[in-house]
Every structure is written in C-alpha cells, then in structure tokens.
Chain A
Amino acid sequence: KNQVEQSPQSLIILEGKNCTLQCNYTVSPFSNLRWYKQDTGRGPVSLTIMTFSENTKSNGRYTATLDADTKQSSLHITASQLSDSASYICVVSRGAGKSTFGDGTTLTVKP
C-alpha cells in the first residue's frame, strides 16, 4: 500500500532554534518528493521538490534531504522564526498526477 508517514505529529520550539521533520514513505514507483508549507487557513505552498537522483535541496532556511534507498526524507529548518509556525506536508508522487500525502507535522514557534 502506498503510504507516507510523517513524524512528529506536532512540535513546539523556541524562536531561533533549529528543528528537523521526518517523512518515511512506501510509495512505488517513485517520481518525486515534495515538501509543502501550509499556513493556517491557507492552501499548501511548495518548499522543495526532489527527484530520485537528488540528495538535498535548499530553499532559504529550509533544507530537504532524500535517501531513496531507505525511502526517507527530512526537512530541516534553521534559525526558526515565528512565521515558520505552520503545517508541513510531505508528498510523494508516482507520476502521471498521482500523489500520496502525509498527514503533516504541525510546527509551533514560540517567542
């Protein structure tokens, strides 16, 4: 069964601290893996996209890694800001418009 598991379910950190979110998947075949940020009451917005051959991809303070052998990905947030408070969603695509979504990790950054 194609599944995407994210951990932790929720996380609280202090402003300025770093954090890492995890994504494990069993989706096959694999086309690409994307991380999205969803602010409360808004639609998801793409942070990074990685294909099979890419190990890491950065977008400002966000760095995603991919280990296609172990089917694991992580999203590392550096020097967190209050505006990073959101839900982070891992999405794995099998191609041809077929995607499997994780349930998301809710991050709260406190001052």
Chain B
Amino acid sequence: NAGVTQTPKFRVLKTGQSMTLLCAQDMNHEYMYWYRQDPGMGLRLIHYSVGEGTTAKGEVPDGYNVSRLKKQNFLLGLESAAPSQTSVYFCASSYSRLANTGELFFGEGSRLTVL
C-alpha cells in the first residue's frame, strides 16, 4: 500500500519553463490537495479537488493549474515557472467530508528550484 506518491521528487527548472507534478493515491480518497511549503511558513493551499473532474482554487493559486481526470491522480502544472515558485510541494488526500475526520495523508514532497 503506497499511500500518496509524488513524482518527481526533485526538479530544477529555468525561468519560463513548464513542468507537471504528478500525485497518485491508492486509498480511494475523494479529496486531493496541492500545498507549497516555504521556509518559516505554514503549508499553503494552492488548489484542491473534491472529486474526479472537479478542481478549486486555494489560497495561492496564481501561476499554477491542476487537473483531476482520474480519481486517483491529481496533477499540478506550472506553465511558465518563476523563481518565486521555488518551494517544496506536497500533495495530500483525505476521505470525503462525510467521513468527518478530515485527516490528511501527505506525500513525501517534491522539491522544485527555479533558476
């Protein structure tokens, strides 16, 4: 049981390049999330999804796009990377709100550096 898997784990980009981070979960969770974590700051929500085919903006969505074509996958895209997007990105998933615990299961993180 892998839980939440993120790929790639590390990536270096040049300003203006594009890339996609992939998150896969095998727990049949409805909710999936993308966060970024910067030094000295709490995790901030970029985008989230409450089910297959749906996405919604979080606190810091600018410069990112997401897609949830399959229930188990949640993709985070950067169309034109900027140095301000240098960060560690975490994917998480959780049961639907009907399950009421709201516990988040996190991946191991993807460290992105934009030069």
Contacts and interface: CB of A to CB of B under 8 A. Distances in A.
B is bound to A: yes
Interface in A80-99: 89, 91, 93, 95-97, 99
By DSSP majority rule, is chain A's interface helix, strand, loop, or mixed?
A: strand
Contacts, number: 59
A99 B102 contact: yes
Given A43-B90, A43-B109, A97-B94, A32 B41 contact: no
A97 B48 contact: yes
B65 to A, nearest CB: 19
Interface residues of B, number: 25
A103 interface: yes
B50 interface: yes
A91 B95 CA distance: 16
Interface residues of A, number: 25
B66 to A, nearest CB: 14
Interface in B75-110: 90, 92, 94, 97, 100-109
